[in-house]
C-alpha cells in the first residue's frame, strides 16, 4: 500500500506578527514556523496503518517556500519513508485550488492507495485543499474523519465522520481515496532518535511549483490585518468586602439576572 500524506508549514500563533505596509503579508523575522498540527495527526495515522499492515510506504509532501522543507523532515522523523517538496517562491501566495493542483499533479499516476490530509490548516482554516485535490484526481473523499479502518481482504476504507451537532456518519469508500482527518483520531508520537538522524540525512525529492498549479486563483488575498484588541479588564481595589460589593454591582449592571 502506498500512502501520500500532505503537510503544511504554518506560523506558530504565539509568535509576534508585524503586518507589511501593503497588507499583503507579514514580516517573517522572529516568526517561528512549524508543522500544521492537523497534518501531524495525518502523519501519525499513516504510521499506524503501516504498523498494522505489511508493505506500506509513506510519502510526505508539502507545497511551500524553501523553508517549508522542514515540515517534510518532521514527517520523516515521525515515520514517513520518503519526502517531497514542491517549492514555491518566497512570499508567493497559492490559494487552496492552486495548492491542490500541485498535489494532484504530483500524485497523478503514481499509484497512491490513500491520500491523507489534515482537516484544515491552522493559519487559513479553509478546509478546501484535501477535497479539491480529490476532485482534481477524480477520487472519493471523506472529510472530518475521526476513525478509519482498512480491511485486509477488501480494497475499501471504512471511516467515521464527525458532523455538526455531535452526530456521526459511517461511510465506506473504495480505494484509492482521500481522507481529511479531524483531531481526536489519534495522539501523535514523539519521534525516535533513529528517525531524527535518518531524517537529517535523507534527501528530499524537489519539484518547481511553476507549471504544476492552475494559473487562475479561486480566492484572492486582499489584505492581512490583526484582530482588534480586546476590551481591557477592570482591577478591583480595596478590602475583600469592598471588592465583593464592587463585583456584585458590576454584575448587576451588566445582567438582568441579579
Summarised one tens digit per residue, pLDDT across range 139-196 is 999 999 999 999 988 999 999 999 998 899 999 999 999 999 999 999 999 999 999 9
Across the range 91-109, mean pLDDT stands at 93
Across the range 28-46, mean pLDDT stands at 94
* CATH value at residue 9: 3.40.50.620
Q: When comparing pLDDT for 251 and 6, which is higher? A: 6
Say how far apart CA 193 and CA 191 lie, in whole Å: 7
Across the range 239-253, mean pLDDT stands at 89
Looking at the domain assignment, is residue 257 inside a domain?
no
Looking at the domain assignment, is residue 60 inside a domain?
yes
Contacts of 54-58 spanning 24+ positions with Cβ under 8 A? 55/1, 56/1, 56/2, 56/3, 57/1, 57/2, 57/3, 57/81, 57/82, 58/3, 58/5, 58/82
Looking at the domain assignment, is residue 228 inside a domain?
no
Say how far apart CA 258 and CA 255 lie, in whole Å: 7
Looking at the domain assignment, is residue 39 inside a domain?
yes
86: nearest Cα among 96, 72, 97 = 72
Q: Could you tell me the pLDDT band of residue 83, with boundaries at 50, 70 and 90? A: very high
Instruction: Give the SS3 label for residue 123.
Output: coil
Q: Is the pLDDT of residue 215 over 70?
A: no
Total domains, the chain: 1
| Phi then psi dihedrals of residue 20, to 5 deg | -65, 155
Say how far apart CA 179 and CA 148 lie, in whole Å: 9
182: nearest Cα among 120, 225, 130 = 120
Looking at the domain assignment, is residue 91 inside a domain?
yes
1: nearest Cα among 202, 102, 152 = 152
Take residue 159 and report the three cell numbers written for it. 471511516
Structural domain boundaries enclosing 111? 2-208
Looking at the domain assignment, is residue 220 inside a domain?
no
Say how far apart CA 70 and CA 61 lie, in whole Å: 11
- Determine the Cα angle at 136 with ends 130 and 139, to 5°: 75
Looking at the domain assignment, is residue 215 inside a domain?
no
Looking at the domain assignment, is residue 108 inside a domain?
yes
Amino acid at each position: 500500500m502506498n500512502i501520500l500524506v500532505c503537510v503544511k508549514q504554518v506560523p506558530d500563533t504565539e509568535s509576534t506578527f508585524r503586518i507589511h505596509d501593503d497588507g499583503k503579508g507579514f514580516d517573517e523575522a522572529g516568526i517561528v514556523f512549524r508543522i500544521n498540527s492537523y497534518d501531524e495527526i495525518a502523519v501519525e495515522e499513516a504510521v499506524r496503518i503501516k504498523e498494522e499492515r505489511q508493505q506500506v510506504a509513506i510519502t510526505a509532501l508539502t507545497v511551500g517556500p524553501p523553508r517549508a522543507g522542514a515540515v517534510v523532515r518532521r514527517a520523516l522523523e515521525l515515520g514517513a519513508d520518503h519526502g517531497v517538496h514542491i517549492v514555491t517562491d518566497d512570499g508567493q501566495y497559492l490559494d487552496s485550488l492552486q495548492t491542490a493542483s500541485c498535489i494532484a499533479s504530483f500524485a497523478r499516476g503514481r499509484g497512491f492507495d490513500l491520500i491523507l490530509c489534515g482537516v484544515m490548516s491552522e493559519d487559513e482554516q479553509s478546509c478546501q485543499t484535501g477535497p479539491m485535490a480529490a476532485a482534481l484526481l477524480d477520487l472519493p473523499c471523506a472529510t472530518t474523519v475521526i476513525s478509519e479502518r482498512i480491511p485486509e481482504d477488501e480494497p475499501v476504507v471504512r471511516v467515521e465522520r464527525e458532523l455538526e451537532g455531535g452526530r456521526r456518519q459511517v461511510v465506506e469508500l473504495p480505494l484509492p481515496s482521500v481522507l481529511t482527518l479531524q483531531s481526536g483520531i489519534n495522539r501523535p508520537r514523539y519521534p525516535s532518535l533513529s528517525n531524527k538522524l535518518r531524517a537529517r540525512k535523507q534527501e528530499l525529492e524537489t519539484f518547481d511549483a511553476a507549471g504544476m498549479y492552475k494559473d487562475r486563483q479561486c480566492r484572492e488575498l486582499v489584505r492581512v490585518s490583526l484582530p482588534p484588541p480586546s476590551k481591557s479588564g477592570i482591577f478591583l481595589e480595596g478590602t475583600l468586602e469592598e471588592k465583593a460589593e464592587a463585583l456584585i454591582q458590576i454584575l448587576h449592571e451588566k445582567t438582568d439576572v441579579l
